[in-house]
C-alpha cells in the first residue's frame, strides 16, 4: 500500500504530533508499505525526517505560503503539490495538531479537498479554549474525510460538543511513549526534590505560568526543591521574565530542548505539568515509562492514562489554586513517589504493548479497501 502523510505543523521544526506519525511511518515501512511525507520545509529538513529518509521515507517539502500574484499564478499552472498527486497514493493520512489546522491553511485545504483517494484525519489536540465557528468550509472538509482518529476519548467527546455533531466514523488510538524500558530508571539520589516539566514553551496550552505562580508562594519558596524546565518555543522570553518576576532564579533552571528522555528522568523525581489543553501528552507517557509519578491537570487524555493517588495526581483545572492543591498533596506524599513511579512504568508498558502504529495501520488498510 502507498501511504501519503500530510503534516499540518508550520511553526516548529519538530513537535509531539510528529513523533506519532514518525513511529507509524517506520512501522509501516518495516511492514513493506511505501510511505511519502508532505510537510512544511522546517519539518521536512529536520534531523528526525532525515533519519527516516535513510529507512526509505519519501519526502516532499511544502514551502511557506507567499500570497503574491506571481506565486498564485505559478500555483495555478504548476502547484507544489503536483508531485504528490503524481505519486498516486492509496490513502492519505492527515496528521494534524488540531481539528482546525487544515481549514486554517488554505493552500493545504484546497489541495486536500480535491483528492479522490480515501482520507484519514488524525487529530492530536482538542481543548476547551480552542474553538472555531462552524463554517461551510469546515463542514465540507469534515464530510470529505473517510475516518477520524483522536488520541483520547476526551478529545473526541469535546470535538463533538464543540461542533454539535457526532463523529460517526471515528476511533481513539492512545499515544505511546517513544522510549521503551523493561524496568524503571534508578531513583535519583538527590536530597533536593527535582521537579521536571517537559513541554514546549507555549504557556497558553502548557501552563508554565501557572506552575511558576504556584511555586512562587512563600510556603513553596521555603522548601527544598528545584524546577527543571525542558523545551523551547515562542514564550521562552516570557517564562524567563516570570522566573525573574517571582524571584525564582535560584529555584528554576531552563535547560532547553533535551533529546535524551532518560537523561531528564535520571535527574528528576516527578513530572509536573499545569496544561490548559492536551491530546494525550507524550512527555507524560515518557515520564511514566521512566518510573516517575505525575502531577497534571484534568485535560486531554490525562485521566485516561493516570490513576489518581496510584500513579499521580490530577488537578481539576489549570489554575494556581487547583494545581497548587494537587502539588501540595504530592509533596506531602513523597514517601510514596518511588512506588507510584513503578506502577506508572508498568502502566506505560501496557499502553505501549497495545502497539499504536499497528492499530493505525489496520485502520488505514481497512479504509483504503
Per-residue confidence (pLDDT) for residue 69, from 0 to 100 = 56
Per-residue confidence (pLDDT) for residue 141, from 0 to 100 = 85
Per-residue confidence (pLDDT) for residue 86, from 0 to 100 = 87
CA angle 63, 69, 136 (to 5 degrees): 75
Three cell numbers, residue 234: 515562542
Model confidence at 48: pLDDT above 90: yes
Distance of CA 31 to the CA centre of its chain: 25
Rounded mean pLDDT, 82-98: 90
In the DSSP assignment, the letter for residue 150 is E
If asked whether residues 335 and 364 sit together in one domain, one would say no
If asked whether residues 44 and 70 sit together in one domain, one would say yes
What is the count of structural domains for the chain? 2
Please report whether residue 179 resides in a domain: no
How far apart, in Å, do the first and last CA atoms of the chain sit? Answer: 10
Per-residue confidence (pLDDT) for residue 13, from 0 to 100 = 82
Burial status of residue 103 (CB atoms within 10 A of its CB: 0-12, 13-18, 19 or more): buried
Neighbours of 301 (CB within 10 A): 22
Q: pLDDT band at 106, cuts 50/70/90?
A: confident
In the DSSP assignment, the letter for residue 116 is -
Model confidence at 313: pLDDT above 60: yes
Per-residue confidence (pLDDT) for residue 28, from 0 to 100 = 98
Q: Quick one: CA dihedral 23, 93, 97, 279, positive or negative?
A: negative
Summarize pLDDT for 139-155 with one digit per residue, the tens: 888 888 999 999 999 99
- Between CA 8 and CA 151 the distance in angstroms is 16
With pLDDT > 90 as the criterion, what percentage of the chain qualifies? 77
Q: pTM of the full predicted structure?
A: 0.92
On average, the pLDDT of the chain sits at 92
Per-residue confidence (pLDDT) for residue 78, from 0 to 100 = 46
Summarize pLDDT for 324-338 with one digit per residue, the tens: 999 999 999 999 999
Please report whether residue 333 resides in a domain: yes
DSSP character string of 305-334: H--BTTTEEEESSSSHHHHHHHHHHHHTTG
13, 41 Cβ separation under 8 angstroms: no
Q: How many CA atoms lie within 13 A of 324 on its CB side?
A: 14
If asked whether residues 58 and 101 sit together in one domain, one would say yes
Picking from 283, 277, 295, the residue whose alpha carbon sits closest to that of residue 348 is 283
Contacts of 316 (CB under 8 A, 6+ apart): 297, 298, 322
Per-residue confidence (pLDDT) for residue 317, from 0 to 100 = 97
If asked whether residues 21 and 54 sit together in one domain, one would say yes
Please report whether residue 187 resides in a domain: no
Q: pLDDT band at 79, cuts 50/70/90?
A: low
Instruction: For helices 16-30 and 282-289, give the axis angle rounded to 10 degrees.
Output: 70
Output 20 or 68, whichever has higher pLDDT.
20
- Between CA 200 and CA 75 the distance in angstroms is 34
Model confidence at 85: pLDDT above 90: no
Model confidence at 292: pLDDT above 90: yes
If asked whether residues 266 and 326 sit together in one domain, one would say yes
Domain membership of residue 230 as a residue range = 193-352
Please report whether residue 186 resides in a domain: no
Rounded mean pLDDT, 103-120: 82
- Between CA 350 and CA 304 the distance in angstroms is 13
The helix or strand, by DSSP H or E, that contains position 36, with its residue range, turns out to be strand 34-40
If asked whether residues 95 and 200 sit together in one domain, one would say no
Contacts of 73 (CB under 8 A, 6+ apart): none
Per-residue confidence (pLDDT) for residue 109, from 0 to 100 = 79
If asked whether residues 204 and 155 sit together in one domain, one would say no
Contacts of 350 (CB under 8 A, 6+ apart): none
In the DSSP assignment, the letter for residue 291 is T
If asked whether residues 197 and 338 sit together in one domain, one would say yes
If asked whether residues 165 and 202 sit together in one domain, one would say no
Q: What is the CATH number of the domain that holds 111?
A: 3.40.50.2000
Summarize pLDDT for 170-216 with one digit per residue, the tens: 999 999 999 999 999 999 999 999 999 999 999 999 999 999 999 99
Rounded mean pLDDT, 272-294: 97
The CA radius of gyration of the chain, in Å to the nearest whole number, is 21
Please report whether residue 257 resides in a domain: yes
Find where cell 525542558 sits. Answer: 230
Q: Quick one: CA dihedral 258, 196, 218, 250, positive or negative?
A: negative
Per-residue confidence (pLDDT) for residue 132, from 0 to 100 = 67
If asked whether residues 261 and 210 sit together in one domain, one would say yes
Burial status of residue 164 (CB atoms within 10 A of its CB: 0-12, 13-18, 19 or more): exposed
Per-residue confidence (pLDDT) for residue 15, from 0 to 100 = 86
If asked whether residues 30 and 116 sit together in one domain, one would say yes
Please report whether residue 245 resides in a domain: yes
Please report whether residue 81 resides in a domain: yes
- Between CA 132 and CA 143 the distance in angstroms is 17
Picking from 37, 38, 57, 48, the residue whose alpha carbon sits closest to that of residue 13 is 48
Model confidence at 68: pLDDT above 60: no
- Between CA 78 and CA 56 the distance in angstroms is 27
With pLDDT > 70 as the criterion, what percentage of the chain qualifies? 94
92, 117 Cβ separation under 8 angstroms: yes
Q: pLDDT band at 12, cuts 50/70/90?
A: confident
Please report whether residue 188 resides in a domain: no
Q: pLDDT band at 32, cuts 50/70/90?
A: very high
Per-residue confidence (pLDDT) for residue 65, from 0 to 100 = 56
If asked whether residues 204 and 306 sit together in one domain, one would say yes
90, 2 Cβ separation under 8 angstroms: yes
Amino acid at each position: 500500500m502507498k501511504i501519503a502523510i500530510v503534516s499540518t505543523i508550520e511553526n516548529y521544526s519538530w513537535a509531539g504530533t510528529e513523533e506519532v506519525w514518525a513511529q507509524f511511518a517506520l512501522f509501516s515501512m518495516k511492514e513493506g508499505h511505501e510511505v511519502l511525507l508532505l510537510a512544511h520545509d522546517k519539518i521536512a529538513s529536520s534531523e528526525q525526517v532525515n533519519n527516516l529518509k535513510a529507512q526509505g521515507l519519501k519526502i516532499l517539502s511544502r514551502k511557506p505560503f507567499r500570497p503574491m500574484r506571481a506565486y498564485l499564478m505559478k500555483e495555478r499552472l504548476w502547484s507544489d503539490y503536483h508531485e504528490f498527486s503524481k505519486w498516486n497514493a492509496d490513502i492519505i493520512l492527515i496528521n494534524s495538531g488540531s481539528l482546525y489546522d487544515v481549514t486554517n491553511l488554505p493552500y493545504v485545504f484546497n489541495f486536500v479537498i480535491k483528492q479522490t483517494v480515501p482520507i484519514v484525519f488524525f487529530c492530536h489536540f482538542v481543548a476547551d479554549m480552542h474553538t472555531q465557528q462552524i463554517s461551510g468550509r469546515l463542514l465540507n472538509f469534515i464530510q470529505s474525510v473517510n475516518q477520524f482518529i483522536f488520541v483520547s476519548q476526551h478529545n473526541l467527546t469535546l470535538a463533538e460538543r464543540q461542533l454539535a455533531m457526532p463523529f460517526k466514523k471515528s476511533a481513539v488510538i492512545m499515544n505511546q511513549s517513544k522510549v521503551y524500558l523493561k524496568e524503571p530508571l534508578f531513583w535519583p539520589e538527590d536530597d533536593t526534590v527535582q521537579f521536571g516539566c517537559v513541554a514546549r514553551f507555549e504557556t497558553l496550552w502548557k501552563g508554565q505560568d501557572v506552575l511558576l505562580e504556584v511555586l512562587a508562594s512563600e510556603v513553596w519558596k521555603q522548601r527544598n526543591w528545584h524546577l527543571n524546565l525542558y523545551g523551547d518555543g515562542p514564550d521562552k522570553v516570557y517564562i524567563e521574565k516570570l522566573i525573574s518576576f517571582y524571584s525564582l532564579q535560584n529555584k528554576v533552571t531552563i535547560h532547553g530542548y533535551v533529546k535524551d528522555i532518560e537523561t531528564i528522568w535520571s535527574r528528576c523525581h516527578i513530572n509536573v505539568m499545569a496544561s490548559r489543553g492536551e491530546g494525550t501528552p507524550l512527555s507524560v507517557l515518557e515520564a511514566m515509562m521512566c518510573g516517575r509519578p505525575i502531577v497534571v491537570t484534568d485535560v486531554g487524555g490525562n485521566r485516561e492514562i493516570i490513576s489518581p493517588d496510584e500513579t499521580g495526581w490530577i488537578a481539576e483545572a489549570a489554575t494556581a489554586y487547583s494545581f497548587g492543591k494537587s502539588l501540595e498533596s504530592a509533596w506531602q506524599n513523597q514517601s510514596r513517589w518511588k512506588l507510584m513511579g513503578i506502577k506508572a512504568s508498568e502502566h506505560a508498558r501496557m499502553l505501549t504493548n497495545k502497539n499504536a502504529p499497528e492499530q493505525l495501520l489496520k485502520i488505514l488498510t481497512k479504509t483504503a479497501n
